[in-house]
C-alpha cells in the first residue's frame, strides 16, 4: 500500500534522515586505508544511538531466516553492489567503497547511501561514481507531482546510457516511511509502464546502482553481499526524498 505523508510526518522523517546524513558525513571523514569496516560500523551505530535513533539495518531479515543483517551499515567494496557486511576487513587505497545507512527515529525511517573512492580514481571509475550520483539527482529532480514513477526511472537510466554504464535491475528504489521498504518500487530503468502518479506526500528512496559491466548479480555465500556477476565495479547513491508541491525535498542530509 502506498501512503502519503502529512507535512508533520515529513518533518519527523527529516529527523531520521538528518541522522543518516550525519552518519555518512562521519564515515566519509573516517574512511582511509587501514580502517576496518567493523570500526566504521561501530562509529555509525554509536552515532545513530547517541542521536536517539535505532539502526534499521541491524537484524533486518534477508534471504536466510537464520541470518538477519548483523550490522548497522552496509559496506560494499569494488564489485560488491549493495549489502556488504562490515567486519575485520580493512579498507585499502584503490578501492571503491559504497556505504549504505539507515536509521529509525520515533518510528520513522531514513535511508541513504554514497560511494567513495579511496585515493585518486582512474578516469573510468571516477565517471562511474560521478554519473551514479548525477543519476540519483536526476531521478530526484523528476520526483514532482504529476510525473509518474517511470519518469524517475527514465531520468536515472538516461544518465547511465550516456556512457554505457550497466544499470542494476534486481534491486530498486522504494517508498519509505514507517517501514524502510514501502510501495511503490522505483526501478532505475524504464519498465514501459507509467507506474504510480506522483503526489505531494509521497516519500521515496531513490537509489541508482550502476556498474562498469552488465546488470546481472549474484549473492555471496554470506547470504547478503550482492556482487556483479561479471566482476565489474559498481557504485550506489541513495537519498530519501519527499515529493511536495514545492518540489522534491531531500530528507537525508545532515
Ligand atoms: Mg534503500
Q: Is residue 133 part of a domain?
A: yes
Centre of ligand 1 to C-alpha 47, Å, is: 19
Q: What is the pLDDT of residue 1?
A: 74
Q: Where residue 249 falls among pLDDT bands split at 50, 70, 90?
A: very high
pTM above 0.85? Answer: yes
CA of 207 to the centre of ligand 1 (A): 6
Question: What's the 74 CA to ligand 1 centre distance in angstroms?
Answer: 11
Interval between CA 11 and ligand 1 midpoint (Å): 19
In a domain, 43, yes or no: yes
Among 164, 166, 181, smallest CA distance to 238 is for 181
The mean per-residue pLDDT over the stretch 222-226 comes to 98
Task: State how many domains the chain has.
Answer: 1
pLDDT 10s digits, 142-162: 999 999 999 999 999 999 999
> Quick one: average pLDDT of 40-60?
98
In a domain, 2, yes or no: no
Looking up residue 135, the CATH number of its domain turns out to be 3.90.230.10
Unique residue bearing C-alpha cell 522534491: 248
Task: Calculate the alpha carbon distances from 250 to 94, 112, 157, 175 in Å.
Answer: 30, 10, 20, 14
Q: Which domain holds residue 129?
A: 7-250
204 alpha carbon – ligand 1 mean position (Å)? 9
pLDDT at 2: 84
**169 is written with which cell numbers?**
535491475
The Cα 165–Cα 83 span in angstroms is: 21
Please give the share of the chain, as a percent, with pLDDT higher than 90. Answer: 99
Per-residue pLDDT of 62-121, as tens digits, reads 999 999 999 999 999 999 999 999 999 999 999 999 999 999 999 999 999 999 999 999
The answer to whether 55 and 146 are in contact (CB under 8 A) is: no
Asked if residue 1 belongs to a domain, the reply is no
Rounded distance from Cα 19 to ligand 1 centre (Å)? 15
Q: What is the structure's pLDDT at 202?
A: 98
Q: Is residue 22 part of a domain?
A: yes
**pLDDT of 178-210, one tens digit each?**
999 999 999 999 999 999 999 999 999 999 999
Q: Is there a contact between 229 and 216 (Cβ–Cβ < 8 Å)?
A: yes
pLDDT at 113: 98
Average pLDDT of the residues of the chain: 98
Residue 125 Cα, ligand 1 centroid: separation in angstroms? 23
Q: What local confidence, expressed as pLDDT, does residue 213 receive?
A: 98
Pick from 16, 28, 33: nearest CA to 115 = 28
Amino acid at each position: 500500500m502506498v501512503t502519503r505523508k502529512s507535512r508533520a510526518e515529513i518533518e519527523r522523517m527529516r529527523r531520521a534522515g538528518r541522522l543518516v546524513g550525519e552518519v555518512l558525513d562521519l564515515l566519509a571523514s573516517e574512511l582511509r586505508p587501514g580502517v576496518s569496516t567493523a570500526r566504521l560500523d561501530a562509529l555509525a551505530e554509536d552515532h545513530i544511538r547517541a542521536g536517539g535513533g535505532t539502526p534499521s539495518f541491524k537484524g533486518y531479515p534477508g534471504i536466510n531466516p537464520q541470518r538477519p543483517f548483523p550490522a548497522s551499515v552496509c559496506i560494499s567494496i569494488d564489485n560488491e553492489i549493495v549489502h556488504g557486511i562490515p567486519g575485520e576487513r580493512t579498507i585499502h587505497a584503490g578501492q571503491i567503497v559504497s556505504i549504505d545507512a539507515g536509521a529509525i527515529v520515533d518510528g520513522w525511517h531514513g535511508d541513504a547511501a554514497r560511494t567513495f573512492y579511496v585515493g585518486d580514481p582512474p578516469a573510468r571509475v571516477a565517471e562511474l561514481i560521478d554519473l551514479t550520483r548525477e543519476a540519483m539527482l536526476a531521478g530526484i529532480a523528476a520526483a514532482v507531482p504529476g510525473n509518474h514513477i517511470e519518469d524517475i526511472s527514465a531520468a536515472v537510466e538516461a544518465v547511465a546510457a550516456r556512457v554505457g554504464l550497466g544499470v542494476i535491475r534486481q534491486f530498486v528504489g522504494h517508498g519509505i516511511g514507517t517501514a524502510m521498504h514501502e510501495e511503490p518500487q522505483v526501478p532505475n530503468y524504464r519498465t514501459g509502464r507509467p507506474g504510480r502518479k506522483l503526489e505531494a506526500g509521497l516519500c521515496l528512496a531513490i537509489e541508482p546502482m550502476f556498474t562498469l559491466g552488465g546488470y546481472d548479480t549474484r549473492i555471496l555465500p554470506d547470504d547478503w553481499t550482492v556482487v556483479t556477476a561479471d566482476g565489474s565495479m559498481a557504485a550506489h547513491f541513495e537519498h530519501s526524498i519527499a515529493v511536495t508541491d514545492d518540489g522534491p525535498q531531500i530528507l537525508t542530509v545532515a
